[in-house]
Chains A and B, each alone.
Chain A
Amino acid sequence: MVKEAEVPSTTQSSSQQQARPRKPFAGNLALKCPECKEMLVGRDWEKNLKVCSRCSYHFKLTAYERIELLTDTDSFVEVDSDIISVDPLNFVSRSQAYDAKLREESENVGLNEAVIIGHATIEDYPLALAVMDFRFIGGSMGSAVGEKITRAIELGIEKNTPVLISSTSGGARMQEGLYSLMQMAKTTAALAKLGEARLPYFSLLTDPTTGGVTASFAMLGDVTIAEPGALICFAGPRVIEGFMHVKLPEDAVTSEFVLQHGMIDAIVHRRELRQTLARLLHFYGKTNRKSSEFLEESHSHVHQTR
């Protein structure tokens, strides 16, 4: 089952389209941690990578903020930024047309879709990456998101580099019906091709990662890591509670829960993410730094035996 969470309101409207990195809280002097209720000084909070200094609550990051956090300065080259969603089913709910919703969302958030893709380097290791943004219709996946994720994976295959996908999503996008469901198949099939090319895929789960995104590319990393305290599940707590008529413990279906149950490899604090990815790229990237002869050999081996 999939769900779509509400998009948190930003305190500032975006007049500059596509400005990066956006600073939605710029000018906010103080804010309250939703977890421990501590009052945080805006400037310190930004310096602390939007992590609560008292309880380590990780606030959501926008896609461009996360790209800035993870990649080498000015190394990120965005591709296919002009891909947008269309309204293939002429979908209307509660007297709101989906294509009007898309325009509104695009204007409010300042993005064309819920994912940004491109290539960059982390500590000089090249990689292809896709970074999702929860503000755009709850990071939900329709055709455009599925297409961009797939293209990011294909970019990795084409450039012979590892792929990183940073997920945050309420799941498949209802308004595109079965097209949305099929994006799970499309993105996963592309990952299977990446796997056959023996290129590593790193999956980063951030708050929240749920529904159809969890049940496709997010849970398929060769290495899967999560930020602390993120909601990570297939069916959300409200869905489970509603269906099973039970009350879930507070820490159910979080990063810590999925780590404990063997579904992910590690939980990594935001300030250590970049370094962790660099280490992983070092471990797994060896065989494909520049297109080595070793790789070409293993490629022909794959063709012969499969």
Chain B
Amino acid sequence: MTYDLEFEKPLAELEKKISALQRKGERMKADEHQQLQEAERELRRRTEEIYSKLTAWQTVLVARHKDRPYAADYIRLMCDDFFELHGDRTFGDDHAIMTGPATLNGETVMFVCHQKGRDTKEKQLRNLGMPNPEGYRKAARVMQQAEKFDFPIICLIDTPAAFPGLGAEERGQAGSIASNLYLMSRLRVPIIAVVVGEGGSGGALAISIADRILMLEFSIYSVAPPEAAANILWRDTSFAPQAAEAMRISARELKEIELIDELIPEPPGGAHRNYQATADNLKEALVKQLADLRRHPLDELIELRYQKFRNIGKFGRAVV
């Protein structure tokens, strides 16, 4: 996997040097062995250095990286078994939302996730991870089922936004999102939402009303995609990096202002450098949080969830 982002240039050069040396194999001279070791050390050091101070926009690029693991990857790496449930029983099956029961740490949990596509064909199938109303209705159906069977719900969030199309409007995009917020605020099972890539606006929120909101280290969560915010406030989408900076969309900043509960660390260079390590970190966080949530009687859990969202917001009082 090559370093292909603009700010990773120094890393790409080091990597080139390393692979050139490695290609020599047994023909490598003694001092070249040393060079190789040094270059590898340097690569690790520089990677950690660069990734410890990513700008908001650089974080956006990592969160959108083409090789970043998606929900299906995490489910495969964390769970013993998964059976996908399809369709909203009304209109269709939205492949931008993936749902179904899985075995996590010996327990049945219900996954409700966004799913993006890797190649062109799958991207089209997954609609770039942008759900239509039938996707949110499938999520609602499956979450109600989880409540019925007392399965905890785990939502993996990764969408640029809900799909902005005329068909989506015709089938009630706004209402389907709103209904999910309503439903999730009272569901009588523990809910954990984890932003694993892009948490884009209402499209993300629609499956994110949870007892705990977690974020992977280099994921983003924002009121609108940076491009859309730039278009509104700067009247020019090329100001997306400035909008990203101003909106405080990184996991670290959102943890600082306590809008999320936990930041899950990613391996150096981002989740796409080591799927298994990221999945292990995610699993550890999920198992710990689930055990913690199970301590609360259900009535208390629901009230705590209500208070969690009830108390979000900063406002003042006018001086008369």
Partner-B contacts on A (CB < 8 A): 1-4, 81-86, 88-89, 91-94, 112, 143-144, 146-147, 150, 172-186, 188-193, 195-196, 211-212, 214-220, 233-235, 239-240, 243-244, 246, 248, 252-253, 257, 261-263, 306
- Interface residue count on the B side (C-beta < 8 Å): 58
A243 touches B243 (CB 8 A): no
Tell me, in angstroms, the Cα distance from A188 to B305 when the chains sit together: 13
**3 nearest CB pairs, A to B:** A235-B164, A143-B313, A189-B185
Tell me, in angstroms, the Cα distance from A263 to B169 when the chains sit together: 10
> Smallest CB–CB gap between B236 and chain A, Å?
9
Contacting A89 at CB < 8 Å: which of B177, B248, B312, B317? B248
Residues of B156-180 whose CB lies within 8 A of A: 161-162, 164-166, 168-175, 177-179
Q: Does chain A have a CB within 8 A of B151?
A: no
Contacts of B221 in A (CB 8 A): 178
Tell me, in angstroms, the Cα distance from A177 to B200 when the chains sit together: 11
Residues of B42-67 whose CB lies within 8 A of A: none
Tell me, in angstroms, the Cα distance from A220 to B179 when the chains sit together: 7
B254 touches A215 (CB 8 A): no
Contacts of B7 in A (CB 8 A): none
> Smallest CB–CB gap between B153 and chain A, Å?
16
> Smallest CB–CB gap between B243 and chain A, Å?
7
Partner-A contacts on B (CB < 8 A): 161-162, 164-166, 168-175, 177-179, 181-182, 185-186, 188, 201-202, 205-206, 208-209, 221-225, 228-229, 232-234, 242-243, 246-249, 254, 257, 259, 305-306, 309-310, 312-318, 320
Contacts of A193 in B (CB 8 A): 306
Contacting B249 at CB < 8 Å: which of A173, A177, A179, A248? A177
B201 touches A212 (CB 8 A): yes
If over half of A's interface residues share one DSSP class (helix, strand or loop), that class is named, otherwise mixed; here it is helix
Query: In the complex, what residue of chain A is closest to B302 when comparing beta carbons?
Result: A306
Contacts of B170 in A (CB 8 A): 257, 261
Contacts of A216 in B (CB 8 A): 177-178, 181
> Smallest CB–CB gap between B144 and chain A, Å?
14
Contacts of B177 in A (CB 8 A): 215-216, 234
Contacts of A189 in B (CB 8 A): 181-182, 185, 209, 305-306, 309-310
B201 touches A181 (CB 8 A): yes
Once A89-B248, A183-B313, A240-B165 are accepted as A-B contacts, the answer to whether A172 and B175 lie under 8 Å apart by CB is no
Contacts of B257 in A (CB 8 A): 88
A239 touches B232 (CB 8 A): no
A185-B309, A244-B165, A261-B172 known, 8 other contacts, Cβ within 8 Å = A2-B202, A89-B247, A146-B313, A172-B202, A179-B259, A183-B313, A215-B206, A261-B171
A185 touches B312 (CB 8 A): yes
Contacts of B254 in A (CB 8 A): 178
Contacting B223 at CB < 8 Å: which of A178, A195, A253? A178
Contacting A186 at CB < 8 Å: which of B165, B169, B233, B312? B312
Complex A-B: 16 CB contacts under 8 Å: A1-B161, A1-B202, A84-B315, A88-B257, A92-B246, A93-B243, A178-B221, A188-B182, A212-B202, A215-B202, A216-B181, A243-B165, A244-B166, A246-B166, A261-B170, A306-B188
Tell me, in angstroms, the Cα distance from A217 to B178 when the chains sit together: 7
Contacts of A185 in B (CB 8 A): 181, 185, 205, 208-209, 309, 312
Tell me, in angstroms, the Cα distance from A19 to B320 when the chains sit together: 15
> Smallest CB–CB gap between B183 and chain A, Å?
8
A83 touches B317 (CB 8 A): yes
Contacts of B313 in A (CB 8 A): 143-144, 146-147, 179, 182-183, 186
A174 touches B173 (CB 8 A): no
Contacts of B314 in A (CB 8 A): 86, 88, 143, 176, 179
Contacts of B188 in A (CB 8 A): 306
